[in-house]
């Protein structure tokens, strides 16, 4: 099995610019930041993606996302913040240990994290809702 770089960081065997951590999750600076202060939050226990991550572990990551967001606001005074996550290659996931991105944002920073949108029809929304409702 290949070594997981985020597990190596969590264990302290790989270097990282650790921003904050607790007993459940670790936050460190992304080495290829979209903006200054771009931070990754990972659970200490390996999980490939959100589908593999236990619900409680997801909540613990979210708790650290919240704390890091507050820290970055004080430290860097951004105009805003983007929080993103990708599960699967199709979504752009590149390291297969669950991670959330916290990206400080400034007006006019040119950072593009979002997708292009289009207006959905009521029929399309209703069909999706029916599939989701049936799967609950």
The contact set with Zn ion (CB under 5 A) reads: 4, 6-7, 46, 97
We find the least distance from the C-beta atom of residue 46 to Zn ion, in angstroms, to be 4
Q: Select from 8, 33, 32, 29 the least CA-distant residue to 20.
A: 29
Nearer to Zn ion, 3 or 122 (CB): 3
Q: 91 — phi, psi (to 5°)?
A: -95, -5
Strand-pair partners of 28: 18, 40
We find the least distance from the C-beta atom of residue 99 to Zn ion, in angstroms, to be 9
We find the least distance from the C-beta atom of residue 4 to Zn ion, in angstroms, to be 3
Strand-pair partners of 86: none
Nearer to Zn ion, 6 or 28 (CB): 6
């Amino acid at each position: 099995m290949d070594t997981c770089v985020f597990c190596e960081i969590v264990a302290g065997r790989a270097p990282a610019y650790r921003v904050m951590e607790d007993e459940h999750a670790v936050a460190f600076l992304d080495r290829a930041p979209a903006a200054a202060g771009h931070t990754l939050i990972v659970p200490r226990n390996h999980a490939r993606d959100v589908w593999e991550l236990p619900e409680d572990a997801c909540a613990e990551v979210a708790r650290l996302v919240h704390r890091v967001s507050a820290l970055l606001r004080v430290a860097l005074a951004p105009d805003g913040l983007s929080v993103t996550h990708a599960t699967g290659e199709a979504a752009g996931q590149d390291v297969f240990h669950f991670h959330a991105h916290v990206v400080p944002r400034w007006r006019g920073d040119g950072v593009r994290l979002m997708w292009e949108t289009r207006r959905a029809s009521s029929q399309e929304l209703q069909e999706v809702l029916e599939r989701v409702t049936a799967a609950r």
